[in-house]
Amino acid sequence: MFTYGNTNLGSLFVLTHDLTKLDAFSRDKPFSSLVPSLALHCPVLLHSCLAYSARQIALTTTGSALQLYERFSVYYYRTALRALGDVLASIECARSDEVLASSMILSS
């Protein structure tokens, strides 16, 4: 199976799920058009997107799949927060669009 870091292809399908909700007040739609491509090059943003998307799927799922997506959500949320803490230690990285997007996604 294809992997990207610790993320397998099976997990990547949730990457863009419901990111369009974050674009509700933006004409340019950056969360659904730009963020997914940035996430492929930024682990913090990738894990933030995966955490958000897994949570959104969990909110509409029942049965054993619910527990699976809840676990995915918590795992990726924690992973993103740890990575975000490391990235914020660097002033150059802390000012990036990817960090801003990650912060917005994690707070949603």
Beta bridge partners of 93: none
| 55: number of Cβ within 10 Å | 20
Q: Indicate whether 21 belongs to any domain.
A: no
Is residue 89 one of the residues assigned to a domain?
Answer: yes
In-domain check, residue 23? no
Nearest-angstrom CA–CA distance, 97 and 108: 17
For 86, the domain range is 3-14+28-106
pLDDT digits (tens, 9 = 90+) for 32-51: 888 888 888 889 999 999 89
50 vs 9: CA distance, rounded Å = 12
Would 22 be classed as within a structural domain? no
Residue 104 has pLDDT above 50, yes or no: yes
Average pLDDT over residues 78-88: 92
Whether the per-residue pLDDT at 23 is higher than 60: the answer is yes
Number of domains in the chain: 1
Contact 32, 19 (CB under 8 A): yes
Q: Is residue 39 a part of any domain in this protein? A: yes
What's the mean pLDDT in 54-62? 87
Q: What are phi and psi of 7, to 5 degrees?
A: -105, 120
